[in-house]
Amino acid sequence: MNGYGRVFTSENLALIKQMAAQGCSAREIASAIGSTPSSVRVKCSYQKIRLRRGRGRPPGPASLPVERSMDFTRQSSVVSYLPASVFAEFNRKADALRVSASALASMLLNVVATSDLYKAVLDD
């Protein structure tokens, strides 16, 4: 399967519309969904989604927020190291959900942080 069907899911299309409405550039949107700015521009053209003109800011870390009200212009990154077996399983789960591993990690961390689920997840 090519990357086209996996990147432009209905969830990512909704995210693209939201980010475009907030004035995000194709570069920023592409970074958030794991695509290229050119592909985002083409998809937006087909979907009649207006993008901000100009070069925008350099790409930041990928982030796919669960809450659609999140400010997409302020992003921070987290680096995580996993054992190879855990990483492989995480990638399989991301593939099954049709999102990138980075997007899945972002969604999970966002839910844990915004819902204060640290104790429940860590189960000390």
Q: For the segment 79-93, what is each residue's pLDDT rounded down to a tens digit?
A: 788 888 888 898 888
Mean pLDDT, 10 residues at a time, over the chain (124 residues)? 65 86 83 87 92 56 42 64 87 83 81 85 77
- Tokens of residue 30, six digits: 């592409």
Residue 21 is predicted with a pLDDT of: 83
Q: How far apart are CA 62 and CA 77, in angstroms?
A: 8
Instruction: State the DSSP H helix or E strand holding residue 122, giving kind and residue range, or none if neither.
Output: helix 118-122
Distances from the Cα of 9 to the Cα of 53, 55, 84, angstroms: 24, 25, 28
- The pTM for the full model equals 0.43
